[in-house]
Amino acid sequence: MSARRHRPPLLILQTGQPTDSMRRHGSFAHWIRVAAGLDRDDAVVVDVAQGEPLPARAGFAGVIVTGSAAMVTDRHDWSERSAAWLAEAAQAGLPLFGICYGHQLLAHALGGTVGPNPRGREIGTVPIELTPLAQQDPLFAGLPARFSAQATHLQSVLQPPAGAHVLARNEHDACHAFRWGQAVWGVQFHPEFATRHMHGYLQARRAALSAEGRDARHLQAQVHATPQARRVLRRFVRHAHGRRAG
């Protein structure tokens, strides 16, 4: 226990808040911390979307970037400042893990292209297919070639950064996960979502789904637990602490 208490914390960059109806369950940072198995003292949360300043990198084992209702293509000042900070952190070798918006922000920071997915909205419990490169990846090696994950997004990484390896995809999104270098990962899916989070987002998006000609009730019926996706997040935490420990 002593070693756990004294290990360096992870930094969680909070880039947004859950939809209004889901805020009773806490913030995105809270969902991530719980899903990752982190104690409160294991993480430092900086709400960059609310203007909190980005800290110095020293002393952090790694960084997790949350999802957001914002769009990377809107180029908000806080988002662009975060992108510049993340690009420097990536070049310095600090382990980074982006989720949904964080995935897209990392791709943008490293020179990739982000924009509206030409297939439109992806939402619900969706299939994920690993690429052959995933079998040599620290976070994905040994996982089933196909597993389920929770997802909700309109934009995607349309062109990964130069030198990045695509690790996961599906019919909707050709880049559901990538790795850049040895310590930077982005995942379009939400490994921190439990089924209650997915159900809540489907309920919140019922009107939009209806306008798109989609049946929210059918999508609700398809929601199920996604333990393999959560393993990816927990593996990042272990990888970050392992790198720090040498």
103, 108, 172, 190: which one is catalytic? Answer: 190
Give 2's pLDDT tier (boundaries 50, 70, 90): very low
pLDDT for res 207? 96
Q: Structure tokens of 90?
A: 């990536």
Give 243's pLDDT tier (boundaries 50, 70, 90): low
User: Could you tell me what percent of the chain has a pLDDT over 70?
Assistant: 96
State the alpha helices, DSSP H only, in 68-119.
Answer: 77-92, 101-109
The pLDDT of 70-86, averaged and rounded, is 98
Distance CA 233, CA 158 (A): 23
Q: Structure tokens of 186?
A: 């982005």
- Which of 199, 14, 204, 198 lies closest to 101 in space, CA to CA? 14
pLDDT for res 7? 86
Distance CA 132, CA 57 (A): 33
pLDDT for res 3? 46
The pLDDT of 70-76, averaged and rounded, is 98
Phi/psi-derived region of residue 75, left when phi > 0, alpha when psi is between -120 and 50, beta in every other case: left
pLDDT for res 4? 53
- Are the beta carbons of 14 and 49 closer than 8 angstroms? yes
The pLDDT of 32-36, averaged and rounded, is 97
Mean pLDDT computed over every residue of the chain: 95
Predicted confidence (pLDDT) per residue in 125-162, tens digit: 999 999 999 999 999 999 999 999 999 999 999 999 99
Predicted confidence (pLDDT) per residue in 109-118, tens digit: 999 999 999 9
Examine the residue annotation and report whether 175 is marked as an active-site residue of this protein: no
Give 214's pLDDT tier (boundaries 50, 70, 90): very high
pLDDT of 5 higher than 70? no
Topology of domain 2-245, per CATH?
A: Rossmann fold (3.40.50)
- Which of 148, 156, 150 lies closest to 178 in space, CA to CA? 156
Q: Structure tokens of 104?
A: 């897209």
Give 245's pLDDT tier (boundaries 50, 70, 90): very low
108, 122, 192, 239: which one is catalytic? Answer: 192
pLDDT for res 212? 97
pLDDT of 224 higher than 50? yes
Domain ranges, ordered by start, for the chain: 2-245
Examine the residue annotation and report whether 192 is marked as an active-site residue of this protein: yes
Distance CA 96, CA 63 (A): 5
Could you give the angle at which helices 101-109 and 77-92 cross, rounded to 10 degrees?
70
The pLDDT of 11-26, averaged and rounded, is 95
- Are the beta carbons of 181 and 89 closer than 8 angstroms? no
Examine the residue annotation and report whether 190 is marked as an active-site residue of this protein: yes
Exposure string of 58-67, with b = 16+ CB inside 10 Å and e = fewer, is eebbbbbbbb
Instruction: Find the angle CA(93)-CA(97)-CA(99) to the nearest 5 degrees.
Output: 155
